[in-house]
Structure 1
Amino acid sequence: MSIIIRLDRVLSDRKMSLTELSSAVGITIANLSNLKTGKASAIRLSTMEAICKALDCQPGDLFEYQMDD
């Protein structure tokens, strides 16, 4: 089972940079970069809420489940 993170796609759709999101949400660029590249193993619900608010999206827009073969 794999969770694919689509933060880069949502950022692109919103024409927003990681730096702009970092400023809007109050999370370091390094932590957002770890999330974007799939290096983060967990995310707080308050962080997810802040990201969704800043990007005007739903959690399902940011994450996708893909079953392993």
Structure 2
Amino acid sequence: MSNKTKARRLAPGPDRDKVAQELRKKYDSGTSIRALAQETGRSYGGVHRLLKDAGVAFRSRGGNRRSAD
């Protein structure tokens, strides 16, 4: 059984903007998109779309890399 909830589409307006700004604050403080998706019960794509609409400058992919010492 999947632990995903039923899709929750947010209509444009103040509620969507509020959710997007809350996600932006968490993303800007270092939380990953995947973690935000799991925390809110939304899909990765849904969270990404909300962050994009909020004007987020996305981090590069892949996390920290080790130096080639």
Give TM-score, length-normalised by structure 2: 0.39
| Structure in which a larger fraction of residues adopt helix | 1
User: Looking at both structures, which has the greater relative contact order when contacts are Cα pairs under 8 Å and sequence separation is at least 6?
Assistant: 1
Q: Which has the larger radius of gyration?
A: 2
Tell me the TM-score normalized by structure 1. Answer: 0.39
Q: Give the structure with the larger strand fraction.
A: 1
